[in-house]
A = this chain, B = another copy of it.
Amino acid sequence: MKILQKVAKEVQEATKVRLHGRNVERLLSAVLVTGDFWKIVDLSDLPVPAASEIVKRLVSEGILFIDDQENIRLTQKGVDLVNELGISPAQDYTCGACEGRGYPFYADKELYRTFVELAKDRPKAIRDYDQGSVTPETTVSRVLFLDSRGDLRGKDIIVMGAEDDLTGLAVALTRKARRVLVIDIDKRLIDFDNRIFKELGIDNAEAMVWDLRNPFPDDILGQFEVFITDPPETFAAFRAFIGRGIATLKEEGCAGYFGLTLRDSSIFRWKEFQEILINEYCVVITDIVQDFNHYMNWDYHPETRAAQIAPVKKNPTDIWYRSAWYRIETLPGFKRWNDPISDEVFYLDEEGSTT
Alpha-carbon distance between A108 and B100 when the two chains are bound, in angstroms: 16
- Partner among B86, B93, B278, B329 whose Cβ is within 8 Å of the Cβ of A144: B93
Alpha-carbon distance between A23 and B254 when the two chains are bound, in angstroms: 11
B98 touches A25 (CB 8 A): no
Q: Does A21 contact B (CB under 8 A)?
A: yes
- Partner among B94, B104, B148 whose Cβ is within 8 Å of the Cβ of A148: B94
How many copies the complex holds: the figure is 2
- A contact residues, range: 35 or more
Q: Indicate whether A253 sits within 8 Å of B154 (C-beta atoms), given known contacts A91-B147, A98-B97.
A: no
Alpha-carbon distance between A94 and B288 when the two chains are bound, in angstroms: 16
Q: Indicate whether A95 sits within 8 Å of B93 (C-beta atoms), given known contacts A275-B278, A284-B274.
A: no
Residues of chain B within 8 A of A125, CB atoms compared:
none
- From residue 96 to 116 of chain A, which have CB atoms closer than 8 A to chain B? 96-98, 100-104, 107-108
> Which of chain B's residues has its CB closest to A30's CB?
B150
Of the A-B pairs whose beta carbons lie under 8 Å apart in the complex, a sample of 7, sorted by A's number, is A87-B154, A88-B153, A92-B148, A98-B98, A267-B284, A287-B289, A289-B289
A residues sitting closer than 8 Å to B (CB atoms) are 20-23, 25-26, 29, 85-88, 90-98, 100-104, 107-108, 144-145, 147-148, 150, 152-154, 176, 178, 251-254, 267-268, 270-271, 274-275, 278-279, 282-290, 329, 331-332
